[in-house]
């Protein structure tokens, strides 16, 4: 890199929803940039919304000290701000009016003299970054999501903390299920990808694990609950992803957020199944939706270490002039892939994944057993 091309000032932002480990990445990016490369670092508030509204502030070494163990993000986050499709108001019928404000973002980045931006996020964030990269902005991404569903990386930070949280919840629900001889359903996040439910379900020894990738049969679920009851097992623990759906059926939609780039919000499949199972089996059923509990709290050590690695590697890529790519973990080693290969895609659980086979062999069912 020539001196005239040398980076002098970079931005860092956390897009999409919050996630344990975000502060670890922000800390690693800022400290690496300042201490190793004498760069100026600017924090972009609330993800792409901060770029759209020009809310960008300097970050010092002290600003990011003592945040490694903090959940959430000191910069804030927003999952309702895509520069290419940003809601600017409503029409007479109350429908959102959206427009492309990418030119405004490019103007603000130029006026702040940001040479490149580390964007921390999931598939939505990387998709938005890839669009802006085509307009000449420089990005390096760090993979964040509790769903573990970004393409080309075997792990995202935040996932392991969410698995711990979900597993603890399932463990706690199991004790009350056993005490009251109930069928207990615990609904976990996972719209299109069932990694979180699969891992937590296996870790907690759930009797049924329902994920989006394997459509379930209600009859098969009912038979599993009754079979356990006939064998003298007084309760059944079911881990169900919010995106799980019956064979030939639809997901359960909780609400529609019309001014969001991703307006459909899932939720409630556990309550629907609870009513159906109870009606058909006459067993007492209860449903618990964990919701945002899975996103919050202190990041586990694994995610703190992983976030630090991702943040440090992101700055290394910037200094090497490798732009418009995502830091990924492949075969246990850090590497990178172009943003274009990640944008608009999701990594789902293959039906023949070894973990599914292991779960079946150790007594967990996926609701498809005996289905036509």
CA dihedral 249, 149, 75, 109 (to 10 degrees): -100
CA proximity to 98, closest of 83, 88, 106: 88
**Exposure string over 203-226, b if 16+ CB within 10 A, otherwise e:** bbbbbbbbbbbbbbbbebbbbbbb
Catalytic residue among 147, 149, 207, 324: 147
User: Could you give the angle at the alpha carbon of 81 between the alpha carbons of 77 and 84, nearest 5°?
Assistant: 145
In angstroms, the CA 327 to CA 329 distance is 7
> Could you tell me the two tokens for 22?
């975000």
C-alpha distances (whole Å) from 83 to each of 80, 188, 279 are 10, 30, 47
> Could you tell me the two tokens for 65?
């000290």
C-alpha atoms less than 13 angstroms from C-alpha of 12 in its C-beta half-sphere: 32
Distance of CA 332 to the CA centre of its chain: 20
Concerning whether 18 is annotated as a catalytic residue, the answer is: no
Q: Are 209 and 179 in contact (CB under 8 A)?
A: no
125, burial (CB in 10 Å: exposed 0-12, middle 13-18, buried 19+) = buried
Strand partners, 121: 143
- Active-site positions read 147
């Amino acid at each position: 890199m020539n001196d005239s091309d040398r980076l002098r000032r970079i931005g860092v932002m956390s897009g999409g929803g919050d996630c344990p480990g975000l502060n670890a990445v922000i800390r690693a990016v800022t400290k690496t940039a300042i201490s190793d490369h004498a760069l100026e670092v600017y924090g972009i508030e609330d993800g792409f919304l901060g770029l759209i509204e020009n809310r960008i502030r300097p970050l010092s070494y002290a600003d990011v000290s003592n945040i490694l163990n903090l959940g959430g993000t000191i910069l804030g986050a927003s999952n309702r701000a895509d520069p290419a499709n940003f809601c600017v108001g409503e029409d007479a019928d109350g429908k959102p009016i959206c427009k492309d404000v990418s030119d405004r973002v490019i103007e603000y980045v130029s006026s702040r003299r940001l040479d490149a931006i580390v964007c921390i996020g999931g598939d939505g964030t990387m998709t938005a970054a890839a669009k802006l990269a085509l307009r000449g902005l420089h990005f390096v991404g760090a993979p964040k999501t509790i769903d573990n569903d970004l393409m080309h990386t075997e792990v995202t930070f935040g996932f392991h903390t969410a698995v711990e949280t979900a597993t603890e919840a399932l463990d706690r629900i199991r004790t009350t299920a056993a005490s009251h001889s109930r069928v207990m359903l615990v609904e976990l996040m996972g719209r299109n990808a069932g990694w979180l439910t699969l891992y937590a379900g296996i870790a907690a020894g759930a009797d049924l694990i329902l994920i989006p990738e394997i459509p379930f049969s209600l009859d098969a679920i009912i038979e599993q609950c009754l079979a356990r009851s006939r064998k003298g097992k007084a309760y059944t623990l079911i881990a169900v992803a919010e995106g799980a759906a019956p064979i030939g059926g639809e997901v359960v939609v909780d609400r529609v957020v019309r001014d969001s780039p991703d307006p459909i919000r899932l939720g409630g499949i556990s309550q629907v199944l609870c009513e159906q199972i109870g009606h058909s089996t006459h067993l007492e059923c209860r449903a618990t939706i964990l919701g945002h509990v899975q996103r919050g709290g202190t990041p586990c050590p694994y995610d703190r270490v992983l976030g630090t690695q991702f943040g440090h590697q992101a700055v290394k890529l910037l200094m090497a002039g490798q732009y418009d790519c995502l830091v990924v973990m492949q075969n246990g080693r850090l590497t990178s892939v172009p943003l274009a290969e990640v944008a608009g895609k999701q990594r789902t659980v293959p039906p023949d994944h070894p973990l599914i086979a292991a779960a079946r062999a150790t007594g967990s069912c996926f609701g498809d057993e005996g289905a036509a």
